Amino acid sequence: MITAIVRLHAALDATELPFDLPGLDDVRIARTQMVDQLEDYVIPRLMTLEAPLLAVVGGSTGAGKSTLVNSLVGHRVTTPGVLRPTTRSPVLVHHPDDAHWFGQDRLLPDLTRVQHVTDDPDSLQLVATEAVPAGLAILDAPDVDSVEERNRVLAAQLLAAADLWLFVTSAARYADQVPWEYLKQAAERSTAVAIVLDRTPDDAVQTVATHLARMLASRGLKDSPLFTVAEGKIDNQGLLPPRHVADIREWLDTLAEDSDARGAVVRQTLDGAVRTITRRTYPIADAAVEQTAIALSLKADVDETYDEAIAAVIAATADGSLMRGEVLARWQEFVGTGELLRSLESRVGGLRDRLVNTIKGKPQQAERVTVAVESGLETLLLEHAEAAAERTHARLRQQAAGAGVLANAPGDLGRASRDLRRRAERMVRDWQLDVLDMVRTEGADKRTTARFLAFGVNGLSVALMIVVFSHTAGLTGTEAGVAGGSALLGQKLLEAVFGDQAVRTLADRARRSLEQRVTVLLHDERARYLSLVDAVTVHPDTPDKLRQAARRVDDLRYQASAKAAEASPGEPL
């Protein structure tokens, strides 16, 4: 069982729930509480079942917890708070022979052990006195309803580390909500609880005690002992008259003397704690599943937006959109217009040689087309990259998990990268050089022909770029006719030099090269978001580890229960 519990603790401790989701704060708090209880109580107690019974005295503000502890011991061991909230360390009172059980290595290991009075809530005051019987330790805890959060957290931590709750309330506070929330937890965990109704006027004891008993029964605590402490005069040591706490003292002494009774209390609370922790592990596992799902969802949102941007850019380079404005004007300067285009409209098929002889493109004009194509492509890339960044940022910001990721992002992810323009320029130039190299390689055996020499490598590469942008779906009216005619002219020019099949192959290679480069460029933009999501640690195997660890503990519990039933038939477990 110890090994199984240690593995469950390791699985819970390693579970990370970094993405913000509705209701996740409660799950995170629950996981922390479970890890703390395993460290503070379950594991140390399992390893030392023979250790003294720890009774933690907790309850409402002003209920008289410290006065009760001092009165039970018979002298002052803890100082009641005068001002509220009182920030002080918890006090653990034990028999001197039991001192070795309360070292730093077990029971609340995060609290520093001290032998003196301190206000440090991270310290645990150890008080050894023979007034407490061996086998029993009493711990005075802060108020569960303190207005100071640190006190409330510490009180919850101490109660979770108790074998027995000695829960103190008063006639004025017994119906308060916060204490009952703790008592509800005790009932759910099968924690051993005794209730002390303190500071109760004699004429109200019967009425209040009866009502409190009904409340306890209705909330699953009908078997919990209920003690009443009448209001009494406190002496100069801050102690109640011994007779006022005699019943509680006698009950605790009996527990201390009876090892079987102590063992029953420990087993009841320990088994309840383990059972509750394993049950609560499954919602933690479910939350871990959601973490993996949200990571995938966030990445899918990023991928979808940038995939759309890549598709839009590729479509714009194929639908004639780039055959507008400056690109079209510079291309027309290169190939000529007027008579040539009008002739092309009527008799394209029979004019190939005549067209080639007519075009008077010059090197500087080809360079102008190249520059126009470069500028047009860069603008297209920048526009879509900016739009993709803006849309992705907006989609993530609308989700709690995405907003949390963006909160830790450097720079402004709502804009494209600062160096995108420089990278886009380099990408376009590299593509143009690639096209130039394709033409040069394809024309290796044609470099001495008149047609090849008439246009040169630069002129033919310009024509190939225009053919890549040849579809005219993005243009309308006269513009479509002019652009389409110009692109067809470029295709005929290339066919005159290389032949039909070669031109189709060149155009296909040039288009694939452009698409690959566009994809890589925008993938780098996409990676800014994906890297943020990936930086958030989420392990897909965490849910299975949690469930397997919890099931193993449950299996061992059931086996132990079955053996106990066989050993003691007819006796309650």
pLDDT tens track for 493-543: 788 888 888 888 999 999 999 999 999 999 999 999 999 999 888 899 999
Q: Has residue 455 got a pLDDT over 70?
A: no
pLDDT value at residue 25: 93
**Based on the number of CB atoms within 10 Å of its own CB, is 550 exposed (0-12), middle (13-18) or buried (19 or more)?**
buried
Residue type at 573 in one-letter notation: L
Q: What is the DSSP string of 402-466?
A: HHHHHHT-SS-TTS--TTHHHHHHHHHHHHHHHHHHHHHHHTTTTTTSHHHHHHHHHHHHHHHHH
Residues 248-263 pLDDT 10s: 999 999 999 999 999 9
Q: Check: CB of residue 544 under 8 Å from CB of residue 286.
A: no
pLDDT value at residue 18: 92
HSE value, Cβ hemisphere, 13 Å, CA-based, for 83: 4
Average pLDDT over residues 1-24: 93
Residue whose tokens read 């390893």? 47
Residues 299-337 pLDDT 10s: 999 999 999 999 999 998 887 777 777 777 777 777 764
What confidence category does residue 180 fall into, taking pLDDT thresholds of 50, 70 and 90?
confident
Backbone phi, psi, residue 284, to 5°:
-65, -40
> Could you tell me the CA-to-CA distances from 179 to 58, 176, 184, 276 in Å, in that order?
9, 6, 9, 20
pLDDT value at residue 138: 94
Q: 59 forms bridges with which residues in the sheet?
A: 143, 168
pLDDT value at residue 474: 40
pTM of the shown model: 0.73
Could you tell me which residues come within 8 angstroms of residue 486 by beta carbon, excluding any fewer than 6 positions away? 323, 328, 331, 332, 335, 341, 466
C-alpha span between 272 and 410 (Å, rounded) = 47
Least trusted range by pLDDT, from 155-159, 261-265, 268-272, 283-287: 155-159
Could you tell me which residues come within 8 angstroms of residue 245 by beta carbon, excluding any fewer than 6 positions away? 68, 71, 72, 229
pLDDT value at residue 454: 61
Q: Has residue 418 got a pLDDT over 80?
A: yes
C-alpha span between 289 and 284 (Å, rounded) = 9
pLDDT value at residue 341: 41
Q: Which of 364, 354, 370 is nearest to 451 (CA)?
A: 354
